Amino acid sequence: MRLFPLFTIALVAAACGAPGQAEKAVRIPAPAIDAPAAKGMATAVFAGGCFWGLEAVFERVKGVRSVTSGYAGGTAQTANYDLVSAEQTDHAEAVRIVYDPSVVSYGKLLQVYFSVAHDPTQLNRQGPDVGKSYRSAVFPQTADQTKVVRAYIAQLTAAKRYTRPIVTRIESGKFYAAEAYHQDFMRRNPNHPYIVRWDVPKVAAAKAAFPGLVG
C-alpha cells in the first residue's frame, strides 16, 4: 500500500491495471469448530496485506460493529506508518474487528478472512505489496480463538482448496491503531487508484461469496 501524490495518480492507475478487475473468493468450508458465543462484544485481529482492503471487507460484514486499521506484532514506539511501510519494524498491517458474536461468529470471520479478504498462500506479500509488514497473520485474542484458528488452518490444509500451502502465522502482540488518515479509507476515497484496482473487486467478491453476510 502506498499513498500517491496527485501527479502520479494517472501513472499508478495504468500500472495497477484496469479498474474493477475480477477477483474471486476461494470456496472453502466453514470451520469444523468455533469459539463459543460470549455475551457482549468480542474482538478479532487479522493481518493480510494492506489494511485498507481488510477494513473494506470486514466493515461490511453483518454483526461487525467497528473495524480499525492499525499495526500488530511490534512495539508501541514503532507503530507508525513511516517505519512500518519502510519494513523497519516487526509490525504487520492489521485490522481490529469488534463484532457481536450473537450475530457473526469468530469462525465465520475466519472463513471470510481465508476465502476472500486476502490470499493466505502469499508469503510476506499481498498483490502489489511486498514485505513482512504485509504478511498473513492472525492474532488470537483468547485461548478459544487460538484453538479455532489452529484447527481451521489444519482443516483447510487437509481440504486442499488452495494450489499452494497456507503460510498464515499465528502470532501474539498488541494492536495499535493507525493514523487517522488510514481509517475508513475506502469509504472516504472511493476513487483512489489503489482502491479501485485492488479493493473494489475484493469487496465485490466478498459480497458474491457471502450473500446475506457481506453487504
Active site positions, annotated: 50
C-alpha 13/C-alpha 9 separation (Å) is 6
The kind and range of the H/E element at 54 are helix 51-58
CA terminus-to-terminus distance, the chain: 24
C-alpha 13/C-alpha 8 separation (Å) is 9
Buried b (16+ CB within 10 A) or exposed e, 40-49: eebbbbbbbb
Q: What are phi and psi of 77, to 5 degrees?
A: -65, -25
